[in-house]
Structure 1
Amino acid sequence: MNPGARKKEILSVLVRDGSVQVIDLARLLDVSKVTIRSDLDELETKGLLVRTHGGAVTAEASGSSRFISQTINEFTVQKMAIAKLASTFIKSGQSIIIDNGSTTLHIAQFIADLPITVTTSSLLVMQELMHAEKVDLLMAGGILRRPSMGLMGNFSKEFYRQIHADWCFLGAAGYSAKHGVYCTNLIEADTKQTMIQSASKVCLLVDSSKMEHLSLAKVCDWPAIHYLITDAISDEIRTIIESHGVKILVVDES
């Protein structure tokens, strides 16, 4: 079996079982454990799995991934209002991080005339700001994750570790009053955590469809978030989140 076919079979087993062990794959594919470890390492760099001691687990839940080309056309009015309010936090001369996502993307159109520094992993944010002459635009490299059209992984993490930002504008697949903030991919969650650590303040941008929605990968607990901007939130959930020191702003869509 050639290397390409072998990696395809590894991913097939991973999708079926949710996890794999080096010793089992070596026996199944009739190759050495060293070869399997090398295959798993390569697949991890592509964001397709997460290595564990003795094996690997799936990077995201089956069927959880949705492409930004779909989500960008959902709750558009709400997302625009959320992004517009978030953009009012940004002052001339500041440095900001804009996360991947269909809500955070909208910030770009409101800041194109500001003399600021923008760091992002989002190819869509890059496209929006690449001709904005007043904006110093920095791109964090990494492995392209096509559902979000964003870059992630160790290259991105190392880049974010070298910078400091006044703000990080964070996206998410869901959040829970009890459990915190979530996305669909473990490697992307790891990258988001480094973004958070590189910023003085973190603002989470989520429309109300994300409320009390859990995904595979936990990004952070509420103490890591300073502001949450949304279009609607229940009183009970608001009270719990605010008890962690998060300031919640609800946009007026009119």
Structure 2
Amino acid sequence: MDLSERHALIIDRLRSAERVDVAELARAIGTSEVTIRRDLEQLAEQGVLRRVRGGAVSLLSRGEGPPFVFREVDNVEAKRRIGAAVAGLIQDGEAVVVDGGTTGLEVARALAGRRVTVMPLSMQAAGALANAAPTRIIQAGGEVRPGELAVTGPLAEAGLRALRFDTAVLSCCGASAEHGVTAYDPADASLKSVAISSAARTILAADAAKFARTAMAVVAPLTRVDVLVTDTAAPPEALEAIAALGIEVHRV
């Protein structure tokens, strides 16, 4: 089991038990206690947990998703395919707002070097688009969320409301025909909602895992989405329900 897999397992244990024990984790993962202690120290530095004698306790609230550094290495190939497919739906000359998150980052990477105007909603995506002429970048304002490096808040929303885009590319924390598009952070959900209202078309980029989750904050009903791009592992019954709403669905 590699580093990212161990960290993901530790986070899953913290979500269910709120406290983990070094010896128990070492047995479950099949590694040494020294390795587990090192993993816990790394996670503590990233604000995921607090070290206590013999283990650690969670610092993640129930409304919080996994940190960006772990999502970035999760389902990477599927997210790259989704990013390329979304970029393929965007025409040269378009004005596009690209959401934060790991899937939004892959969309930004796929658009880099294209003749488009992009407002990225994260520093991660802005970095992927930088120095990629003829791509034009309009930087969003707002508060930058630590770790995630996504922008949120009134300044970011005002910047979006002042512009009109051909396409808004959204990422999400959860998606379903019943509960719509959801996010863990209410400020993030609010910004996504403004992005939808500022664009003529909305593309939702979501890997298969998103259809098994419903996060705390509602972004919008799925009827506000025009196109869904996902991967081949997405559950067919969920996609059928989404397509029944009149949404164009792409599996890549």
Instruction: Please report the TM-score for the alignment, with normalisation by the length of structure 2.
Output: 0.73
Equivalent in the alignment of 2:48: none
Deviation at 1:63?
5.9
Equivalent in the alignment of 2:100: 100
- The answer to whether the Cα contact below 8 Å between 2:122 and 2:149 also exists between their aligned partners in 1 is yes
Equivalent in the alignment of 1:126: 126
Q: Distance in 2 between matches of 1:108 and 1:235?
A: 27
Q: Distance in 2 between matches of 1:244 and 1:181?
A: 14
* Pairing 1:69-108 to 2, within 5 Å after superposition: 69-108=69-108
Q: Distance in 1 between matches of 2:77 and 2:133?
A: 28
Asked if 1:186 is matched to 2:183, the reply is no
Q: Distance in 1 between matches of 2:61 and 2:154?
A: 21
Equivalent in the alignment of 1:224: 224
Deviation at 1:133?
2.0
- CA-to-aligned-CA distance 1:108-128 (integer Å, 9 cap, x gap): 222222121001221011111
Asked if 1:116 is matched to 2:90, the reply is no
Equivalent in the alignment of 1:145: 145
Equivalent in the alignment of 1:195: 195
Deviation at 1:140?
1.0
Deviation at 1:242?
1.2
What runs of 5+ residues in structure 2 fail to find an aligned partner? 1-59
- The answer to whether the Cα contact below 8 Å between 1:66 and 1:147 also exists between their aligned partners in 2 is no
Q: Give RMSD over aligned pairs.
A: 1.5
1:82 is paired with a residue of what secondary structure? helix
* Paired letter, 1:241: I
- The answer to whether the Cα contact below 8 Å between 1:115 and 1:135 also exists between their aligned partners in 2 is yes
- The answer to whether the Cα contact below 8 Å between 1:61 and 1:216 also exists between their aligned partners in 2 is no
* Paired letter, 1:234: P
Equivalent in the alignment of 2:243: 242
How many residue pairs get matched?
Answer: 192
- The answer to whether the Cα contact below 8 Å between 1:114 and 1:134 also exists between their aligned partners in 2 is yes
1:211 is paired with a residue of what secondary structure? helix
Q: Distance in 2 between matches of 1:128 and 1:238?
A: 30
Equivalent in the alignment of 1:161: 161
Q: Distance in 1 between matches of 2:83 and 2:115?
A: 18
- The answer to whether the Cα contact below 8 Å between 1:113 and 1:134 also exists between their aligned partners in 2 is yes
Equivalent in the alignment of 2:10: none
Q: Distance in 2 between matches of 1:158 and 1:139?
A: 13
Deviation at 1:66?
2.3
Asked if 1:135 is matched to 2:135, the reply is yes
- Structure 1 residues 208 and 138 mapped into 2: Cα distance closer, same or farther (>3 Å)? same
Q: Distance in 2 between matches of 1:187 and 1:115?
A: 31
Moved more, 85-94 or 109-118: 109-118
- The answer to whether the Cα contact below 8 Å between 2:109 and 2:125 also exists between their aligned partners in 1 is no
Identical pairs, percent? 25
Equivalent in the alignment of 2:170: 170
* Paired letter, 1:202: T
* Paired letter, 2:142: G
Deviation at 1:161?
0.3
- Structure 1 residues 61 and 198 mapped into 2: Cα distance closer, same or farther (>3 Å)? farther
1:118 is paired with a residue of what secondary structure? strand
Equivalent in the alignment of 2:13: none
Deviation at 1:61?
4.8
What runs of 5+ residues in structure 1 fail to find an aligned partner? 1-59
Equivalent in the alignment of 1:46: none
* Paired letter, 1:229: V
Q: Distance in 2 between matches of 1:68 and 1:218?
A: 20
Moved more, 88-97 or 105-114: 105-114
- Structure 1 residues 63 and 181 mapped into 2: Cα distance closer, same or farther (>3 Å)? closer
* Paired letter, 2:188: E
- Structure 1 residues 61 and 196 mapped into 2: Cα distance closer, same or farther (>3 Å)? farther
